[in-house]
Amino acid sequence: MNKKERMKKIALRSFLFGCFMLGLSMTTLLAQTKADYKKKYKNSDLYKELEKKMQSDMVYPDSIVLPPLHYINTMVSLDSVVTDFQNISIDITVKDDLPDSYKFYISPFNTAFNYMPFYCGIQTASGGKPIGGSKDEEIGRGGIFSRWYERDTAALRTEGYYASSDGEGDFIGVRNKLKWGKGTYRLTLSKTGYVPGKVLPDSANQKDLMFSWGEYEHSWVTMTIEDLERHQITTIGSLAFPGKRLKMAAGFTIFLEQYGAAINFAKNRDLPFETLYYQDIPVAHIVFDHIVVNGKPVIPKKVQTYHNRTHHPEQKKITMPIPLLSKVVYDPITGSIDCVAGKFVDWKTPIDPE
């Protein structure tokens, strides 16, 4: 193989790697029916599908951590299941200026309504298709709200941007621009409407309710973000979930994610993809507090943090353990969860949660 051919191969692999790293995937080109989607997940799940998408023949040096990486997965337990969800909110205080070039995701709510998983939060680099448009656009800083096991875009509403893809398992999502930085923001999810349909049977499970828009009754859930210092509210958009009465799991997971570049723990490596030296990672100090469920302030029953538990499926090819780059302190009196991500703490990650 000559030099030109080698460079072409490196460029191609770099491009493919970039697609994997950003979680990008071409939307399915052939129309599929709900039966097709249900069949796809009969013996599969989101994690299996994600692993399939991210498989490659890449060979990585042992000095890197592949993106996306969740610095933390902090599991917040409530006293009980929320049997009739109306709203939930949390305050997010960002204590550091984060550069636009650093692809960082602050996600406070990861849970499920009537067995349909979702996540939401704010990102430094977001994107999607504009309403009325056909091509993806980068929108910079913004808010994002996504749910899985649905692909029908009639089940979303937004004046901003949207997505329907199989890039992370089949999902739909709404996004919108939000110029966030240092400051405090209140992220709220609210039940805002009803779509008639067949009543959910008491025996319905997750498999029954997958891809059920147009069959069962649904409820709209809308995400808003309020800048508490400027008193400005931005509506990100709404997603439909099956059921007139929404049940929310007895807790949620907070995560902080770096999704832009491979973190490199060695200097001066000539690699065919974007890297970020670990000592150059921007430090993000984030505080989560003032959790309110159905209008009532809540102090979590329990908070547990796992570090580095969610990472790229191909990280298993790399023998170096993921070093500890985060710290979380929970105050059980106030319910405040104080997080620092991106700061080197130790070469070893604790096995047990804090």
Tell me the C-alpha to C-alpha distance, in Å, between residue 188 and each of 47, 88, 324.
Answer: 27, 6, 31
Residue 274 lies in a domain: yes
Residue 317 lies in a domain: yes
Residue 307 lies in a domain: yes
Beta bridge partners, 148, equal 171
pLDDT digits (tens, 9 = 90+) for 101-154: 999 999 999 999 999 999 999 999 999 999 888 899 999 999 999 999 999 999
Residue 351 lies in a domain: no
pLDDT for residue 17 is more than 60 = no
111-138 as b/e: b if 16+ CB within 10 A: bbbbbbbbbbbbbbbbbbbbeeeeeeee
Residue 262 lies in a domain: yes
Range 242-271 average pLDDT = 95
pLDDT digits (tens, 9 = 90+) for 306-328: 999 999 999 999 999 999 999 99
CA–CA dist 306, 246 (Å, integer): 28
Number of domains forming the structure of the chain: 1
Q: Give the range of the structural domain holding residue 44, as residue numbers without chain letter.
A: 3-346
Phi, psi at 41, each rounded to 5°? -100, 10
Higher pLDDT residue, 49 or 336? 336
